[in-house]
């Protein structure tokens, strides 16, 4: 606990609130910048103010601190920007659940090396007020990228979004039959508009920002007062769902587009239908009005766009070119061009006067659902599955891709200043900074949703399953150790044998496969199911496995021979999950038919059926004592007594489908993973929800290790590594105690990886050598991961200017991979910077034998020779670099240094001038370069430096 916390805890609730509310402002007004900065980087202050005053009040403190009146240095400003950015990104999570602050900070900031951020996160790790999920790796979108904030509140897909002309508010339309009004600056939901009896497909706001028109699946449009939320009018006339609406620039009329293949023109003051436009041969999906209000462009599933005269109702032109339905259309501010978005995965630019197709924009890998044009008419933003793209309309170039949604993006709108965009997807909206456009790294493992995860019995590794692949992970470092390929369709599940040496995967290609985890080899394929295999469980003896399938059956397999031992029938729908009791005698299955069944594995008999769920049962897990089971279904979990079949409890709290459940090793808690993007921890005795972690995509899978590490996979491909804090874990004594090899190849690999992080490279190498002796066929995976770990650690130590440590790491890397020129190059550079130029020169020579055409290595070799006083050899090395790359600025600069130290002004200036022409930064470096001290007084040299 910090001094601030101790002082705060002594105050009364009223004074505590007052202090938290006013202290930052007081420090600003009294110019106590150092104290202000200390306060805003204190996790205890952040946690306390969040709890008392909410997220926005906290963000305003950072905005105040970063104002022009407060004198912060650039490093301090960067730190506060990162904290404020994290709070903005997590507002929709922290506002309803303030206990997630530590988890959100770690998930978003762990990848940053900023010392103040590192110190803040160390404070966050010590938080002990609640049980919580602590991220072990960076697993959430970091601040500083294009995503600014997320708006959460809808209960289903968000189909449309419109922005007020002042750019301060937005209105969203959803499948949940509502519209919502949002404050874009704070993310706050200002109002909810109810009245439609079906999904709301579209919304448009009048130019004065006072009213909105919505279009619905209930075949109507409605006019709303945004200030009061009052429904002012309902427009009826369409005979099918209304897909889109646009308002004329004078705010007096609206044009609607419907699935009934027509458009209609409406008088907003009277509600009268003024005209109907017919001509499309399929549903009309979108409409846009020209800036002069005289014409409209419609888009249809008949693959065309049409231009209409609003005064006469005449069809002026038809635009053909798309090969599938047209989803959206937007018109440039000058009214001369239009951009269309289509299910054929493309956008097209059209000349409205001639009907000519001017350009096609390709890049999306799925249907393009929406498009918006910036106010200057120069760029467009398009929406597709999970992504948005920014385009240059003049050149057709793709400028940026924005990732962050975990489902199809249905709509996009751009702020009037053209700097930001709001996108709409499943249940959420997101605000983006169009200027940054850069995507910061988020830890991703798979390219598709992670359907399953399993942890080895020793708790050192995990295996994840996704589209056609499995991946092996080191839990201590979060690093990917191997990828297993062999399935021809999605991998739905994975289970690991009790000895931790093998894994069984289940796939929608109707098969299971047995894998050797040490080598990645595929040992056996199990065939017999006639539909996809949804899950797999391995018996405690490691000899048998049970698989449930879409063919309504379960099968029992012999892992040694690959033989099918039995088939269990009884379910009337797809069987999604199975768990085996700790004694290996029984299994519990979960099915689409809303039931669970208990089976005798020896006889194949169905012993009991458990009913109570109202939807399909997606997952099941059995407690370590074998007496109870936990099942997961739509937004609930249930606890069952296996002996009696009684339902003991129902756990509610999720707002979406629960995909997976895992029970902690001592059997007291369960972790669930849901489509509501959360993981939850439950107390099985009380039914209490103990902790929640909110991610950024639907959670698909979860597993818990004996030490409380949770591995979870989500729909976007992220593998999350978290630790349960505030929960004590003990290994249970089983009826048949589990015996693991004291030293397996994988455990030795993990031990070595941990030793590398501790700077104990020689011991790490010994571990890996021992592993390879145990399993020579595992050598490629052992040494491959060892080499990656050493080089990565070496790079980190180099960045930290710990050159001696970097030398040790790269020495290990070249020992593992002596044929890698880059490792020798990095070793040489580290040796040089640690003061051993002779050793560096030897390493450069080895690197050049392996890669003789690398200009960078030749140049750096020259610098090492230069430092040893071997000027002629150094010159030859730099000249060789220029032979390989005539525009290599650094080589010219180093040659200039050589001439400078020898006092040759003409040649020094000539080469420095060439270096500066290629890289202007060379001028600044030369101003303090001691190799130019002999010629620094020369007028030509000073003129070149601008002195």
Computed over every residue of the chain, the mean pLDDT equals 92
Looking at residue 60, its pLDDT comes to 95
pLDDT digits (tens, 9 = 90+) for 687-711: 999 999 999 999 999 999 988 999 9
Flag whether pLDDT at 739 surpasses 70. Answer: no
Give the model's confidence band at 440: pLDDT under 50 very low, under 70 low, under 90 confident, else very high: very low
Tally of domains in the chain: 4
Looking at residue 439, its pLDDT comes to 43
Q: C-alpha distances in angstroms, 82 versus 111, 124, 350, 400?
A: 12, 15, 42, 22
Domain shared by 315 and 379, yes or no: yes
List all residues 6 or more positions away from 603 whose beta carbon is below 8 Å from its beta carbon: none
DSSP 49: H
Q: C-alpha distances in angstroms, 88 versus 30, 60, 91, 692?
A: 27, 11, 5, 19
DSSP 343: T
pLDDT digits (tens, 9 = 90+) for 460-485: 899 999 888 999 998 877 888 999 99
Domain shared by 342 and 479, yes or no: no
φ, ψ of residue 614 to 5 degrees: the values are -100, -5
Looking at residue 2, its pLDDT comes to 66
Flag whether pLDDT at 442 surpasses 50. Answer: no
Given the structure tokens 């500066």, which residue do they identify? 916
Residue that is last in its domain, among 83, 115, 135 = 135
Domain shared by 406 and 495, yes or no: no
Share of the chain above pLDDT 90, in %: 78
User: Do the bridges between strand 284-289 and strand 273-278 make them parallel or antiparallel, or are there none, so unpaired?
Assistant: unpaired
Domain with residue 79: its CATH number is: 1.25.40
Looking at residue 205, its pLDDT comes to 96
Domain shared by 38 and 76, yes or no: yes
Domain shared by 155 and 111, yes or no: no
- Domain of 766 in residue numbering reads as 754-944
Domain shared by 894 and 808, yes or no: yes
Q: What is the mean pLDDT of residues 798-810?
A: 91
Q: What is the mean pLDDT of residues 225-249?
A: 96
Give the model's confidence band at 946: pLDDT under 50 very low, under 70 low, under 90 confident, else very high: confident
Domain assignment of residue 856, yes or no: yes
CA–CA gap between residue 26 and residue 494 (Å, rounded):
57
pTM of the model: 0.80
Q: Establish how many alpha carbons lie within 13 A of residue 261's alpha carbon, considering only the half-sphere containing its beta carbon.
A: 7
CA–CA gap between residue 350 and residue 130 (Å, rounded):
58
Give the model's confidence band at 826: pLDDT under 50 very low, under 70 low, under 90 confident, else very high: very high
Domain shared by 331 and 356, yes or no: yes
In this structure, are residues 848 and 824 in contact, taking their beta carbons and an 8 Å threshold? no
Neighbouring C-beta atoms of residue 608, cutoff 10 Å? 16
Residue 517's closest CA among 467, 479, 473?
A: 473
Q: What is the mean pLDDT of residues 722-729?
A: 85
Q: Across the beta sheet with 262-267, what order do the strands follow?
A: 242-247, 253-258, 262-267, 273-278
Domain assignment of residue 697, yes or no: no
CA–CA gap between residue 852 and residue 470 (Å, rounded):
38
CA–CA gap between residue 916 and residue 559 (Å, rounded):
68
Residue 421's closest CA among 401, 441, 446, 396?
A: 401
In this structure, are residues 567 and 553 in contact, taking their beta carbons and an 8 Å threshold? yes
Domain shared by 914 and 780, yes or no: yes
Domain shared by 800 and 914, yes or no: yes
Residue that is last in its domain, among 665, 680, 715 = 665
Domain assignment of residue 271, yes or no: yes
Grouping H, G, I as helix, E, B as strand and the rest as coil, residue 30 is: coil
CA–CA gap between residue 941 and residue 921 (Å, rounded):
16
Domain with residue 869: its CATH number is: 1.25.40.10
CA–CA gap between residue 235 and residue 254 (Å, rounded):
11
Q: Where are the beta strands (DSSP E) in 290-384?
A: 295-300, 304-309, 315-320, 326-331, 337-342, 347-351, 357-361, 370-373, 379-383
Domain shared by 108 and 202, yes or no: no
Q: What is the mean pLDDT of residues 543-552?
A: 97
**Packing angle of the helix pair 74-89, 115-125 (nearest 10 deg):** 40
Flag whether pLDDT at 741 surpasses 50. Answer: no
CA–CA gap between residue 132 and residue 123 (Å, rounded):
15
In this structure, are residues 202 and 259 in contact, taking their beta carbons and an 8 Å threshold? no
Domain assignment of residue 308, yes or no: yes
pLDDT digits (tens, 9 = 90+) for 11-47: 888 998 999 999 999 999 898 999 999 999 999 999 9
Looking at residue 263, its pLDDT comes to 98
List all residues 6 or more positions away from 638 whose beta carbon is below 8 Å from its beta carbon: 612, 613, 630, 631, 647, 649, 650, 651
Burial class (CB in 10 A: 0-12, 13-18, 19+), 678: buried
DSSP 270: T
Q: Which residues of 44-69 are buried (b: 16+ CB within 10 A; e: fewer)?
A: bbbbbbbebebbbebbebbebbeeee
Looking at residue 843, its pLDDT comes to 96
Residue that is last in its domain, among 399, 433, 467 = 433
H and E: helices and strands count for the chain: 21, 54
**Own/partner pairs for 188-194, CB < 8 Å, 24+ apart?**
188/56, 189/151, 189/153, 191/226, 191/229, 192/153, 192/229, 193/224, 193/229, 193/231
Window from 301-315, 614-628, 787-801, 909-923 with minimum mean pLDDT: 787-801
Looking at residue 732, its pLDDT comes to 37
Q: What is the mean pLDDT of residues 527-540?
A: 97
pLDDT digits (tens, 9 = 90+) for 645-662: 999 999 999 999 999 999
Flag whether pLDDT at 245 surpasses 50. Answer: yes
Q: What is the mean pLDDT of residues 513-536?
A: 96
Looking at residue 729, its pLDDT comes to 59
pLDDT digits (tens, 9 = 90+) for 196-233: 999 999 999 999 999 999 999 999 999 999 999 999 99
Domain assignment of residue 821, yes or no: yes
Domain assignment of residue 722, yes or no: no
Flag whether pLDDT at 737 surpasses 50. Answer: no
Q: C-alpha distances in angstroms, 139 versus 110, 444, 448?
A: 9, 8, 16
Burial class (CB in 10 A: 0-12, 13-18, 19+), 232: middle
Looking at residue 792, its pLDDT comes to 87
List all residues 6 or more positions away from 726 whose beta carbon is below 8 Å from its beta carbon: 128, 130, 131, 132, 691
DSSP 376: T
Domain with residue 394: its CATH number is: 2.130.10.10
Domain shared by 302 and 280, yes or no: yes
Looking at residue 409, its pLDDT comes to 87
Give the model's confidence band at 743: pLDDT under 50 very low, under 70 low, under 90 confident, else very high: low
Domain assignment of residue 484, yes or no: yes
Domain shared by 474 and 383, yes or no: no
Neighbouring C-beta atoms of residue 928, cutoff 10 Å? 7
Domain assignment of residue 734, yes or no: no
φ, ψ of residue 107 to 5 degrees: the values are -60, -30
């Amino acid at each position: 606990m910090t001094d601030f916390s101790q002082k705060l805890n002594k105050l009364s609730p009223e004074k505590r609130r007052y202090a938290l509310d006013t202290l930052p402002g007081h420090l600003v007004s009294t110019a106590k910048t150092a104290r202000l900065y200390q306060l805003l980087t204190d996790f205890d202050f952040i946690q306390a103010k969040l709890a008392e005053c909410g997220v926005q009040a906290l963000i305003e403190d950072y905005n105040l601190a970063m104002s022009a009146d407060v004198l912060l240095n650039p490093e301090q400003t960067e730190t506060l920007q990162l904290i404020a950015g994290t709070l903005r990104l997590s507002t929709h999570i922290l506002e309803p659940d303030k206990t997630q602050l530590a988890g959100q900070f770690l998930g978003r900031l762990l990848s940053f090396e900023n010392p103040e951020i590192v110190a803040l996160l160390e404070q966050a790790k010590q938080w002990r007020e609640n049980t919580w999920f602590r991220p072990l790796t960076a697993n959430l979108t970091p601040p500083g990228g294009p995503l600014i904030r997320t708006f959460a509140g809808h209960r289903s897909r968000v189909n449309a979004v419109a922005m007020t002309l002042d750019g301060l508010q937005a209105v969203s339309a959803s499948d949940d039959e509502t519209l919502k009004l949002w404050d874009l600056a704070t993310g706050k939901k200002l109002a909810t508009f109810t009245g439609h009896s079906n999904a709301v497909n579209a919304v448009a706001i009048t130019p004065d920002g006072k009213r909105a028109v919505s279009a619905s699946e209930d075949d109507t449009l409605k006019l709303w007062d945004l200030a009061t939320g009052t429904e002012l009018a309902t427009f009826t006339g369409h005979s099918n769902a209304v897909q889109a609406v646009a308002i004329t620039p004078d705010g007096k009329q609206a044009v609607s587009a419907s699935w009934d293949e027509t458009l209609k023109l409406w008088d907003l003051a009277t509600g009268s239908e003024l005209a109907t436009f017919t001509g499309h041969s399929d549903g009309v999906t979108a409409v846009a009005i020209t800036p002069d209000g005289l014409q409209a462009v419609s888009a249809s599933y008949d693959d065309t766009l049409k231009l209409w005269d609003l005064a006469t109702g005449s069809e002026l032109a038809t635009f053909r070119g798309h090969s599938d339905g047209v989803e959206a259309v937007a018109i440039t501010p000058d009214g001369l061009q239009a951009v269309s978005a289509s299910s054929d995965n493309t956008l097209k630019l059209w000349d409205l006067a001639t009907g000519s197709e001017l350009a096609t924009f390709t890049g999306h890998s799925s249907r393009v659902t929406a498009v918006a044009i910036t106010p200057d008419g120069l760029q467009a933003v398009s929406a597709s599955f999970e992504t948005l793209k920014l385009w240059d309309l003049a050149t057709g170039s793709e400028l940026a891709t924005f990732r962050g949604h975990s489902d199809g993006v249905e709509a996009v709108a751009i702020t009037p200043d053209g700097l930001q965009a709001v996108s709409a997807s499943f249940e959420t909206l997101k605000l983006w900074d169009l200027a940054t456009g850069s995507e910061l790294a988020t830890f991703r493992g798979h390219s598709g949703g992670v359907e399953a995860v399993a942890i080895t019995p020793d708790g050192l590794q995990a295996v994840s399953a996704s589209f056609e692949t499995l991946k092996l992970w080191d839990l201590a470092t979060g690093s990917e150790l191997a990828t297993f390929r062999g399935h021809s369709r999605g991998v739905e599940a994975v289970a690991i044998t009790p000895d931790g040496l093998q894994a069984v995967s289940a796939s929608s290609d109707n098969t299971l496969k047995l894998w050797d985890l040490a080598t990645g080899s595929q040992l056996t394929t199990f065939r017999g199911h006639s539909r996809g295999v949804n899950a797999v469980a391995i018996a405690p003896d490691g000899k048998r496995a049970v698989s449930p399938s879409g063919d309504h059956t379960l099968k029992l397999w012999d892992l040694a021979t690959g033989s099918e031992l039995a088939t269990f029938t009884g379910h009337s729908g797809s069987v999604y999950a199975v768990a085996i009791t700790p004694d290996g005698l029984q299994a519990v299955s979960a099915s689409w038919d809303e039931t669970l069944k208990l089976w005798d594995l020896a006889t194949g008999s169905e012993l009991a059926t458990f009913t109570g769920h109202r939807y399909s049962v997606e997952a099941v897990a059995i407690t370590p004592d074998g007496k109870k089971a936990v099942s997961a279904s739509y937004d609930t979990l249930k606890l069952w007594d296996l002996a009696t079949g009684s339902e003991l409890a129902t756990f509610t709290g999720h707002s979406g489908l629960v995909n997976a459940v895992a029970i902690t090793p001592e059997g007291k808690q369960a972790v669930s993973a849901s489509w509501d993007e959360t993981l939850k921890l439950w107390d099985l005795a009380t039914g209490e929800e103990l902790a929640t972690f909110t991610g950024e995509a639907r959670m698909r899978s979860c597993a818990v290790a004996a030490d409380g590490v949770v591995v979870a996979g989500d729909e976007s491909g992220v593998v999350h590594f978290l630790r349960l804090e505030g929960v004590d874990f003990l290994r249970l004594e089983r009826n048949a105690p589990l015996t693991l090899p004291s030293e397996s190849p994988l455990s030795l690999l993990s031990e070595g990886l941990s030793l590398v992080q501790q700077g104990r490279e020689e011991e790490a190498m010994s571990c890996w050598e021992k592993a390879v002796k145990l399993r020579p066929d595992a050598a490629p995976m052992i040494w491959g991961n060892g080499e990656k770990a050493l080089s990565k650690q070496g790079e980190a130590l180099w960045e930290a200017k710990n050159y001696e440590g970097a030398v040790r790491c790269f020495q290990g890397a070249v020992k593992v991979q002596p044929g890698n020129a880059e490792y020798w190059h990095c070793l040489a550079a580290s040796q040089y910077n640690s003061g051993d130029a002779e050793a560096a020169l030897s390493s450069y020579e080895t690197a050049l034998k392996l890669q003789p055409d690398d200009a960078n290595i030749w140049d750096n070799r020259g610098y090492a020779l230069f430092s040893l006083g071997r000027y002629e050899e150094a010159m030859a090395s730099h000249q060789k670099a220029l032979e390989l790359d005539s525009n290599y600025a650094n080589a010219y600069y180093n040659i200039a240094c050589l001439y400078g130290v020898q006092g040759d002004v003409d040649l020094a200036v000539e080469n420095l001038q060439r270096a500066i022409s290629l890289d202007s930064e060379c001028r600044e470096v030369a101003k303090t370069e001691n190799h130019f001290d002999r010629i620094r007084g020369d007028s030509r040299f000073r003129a070149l430096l601008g002195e």
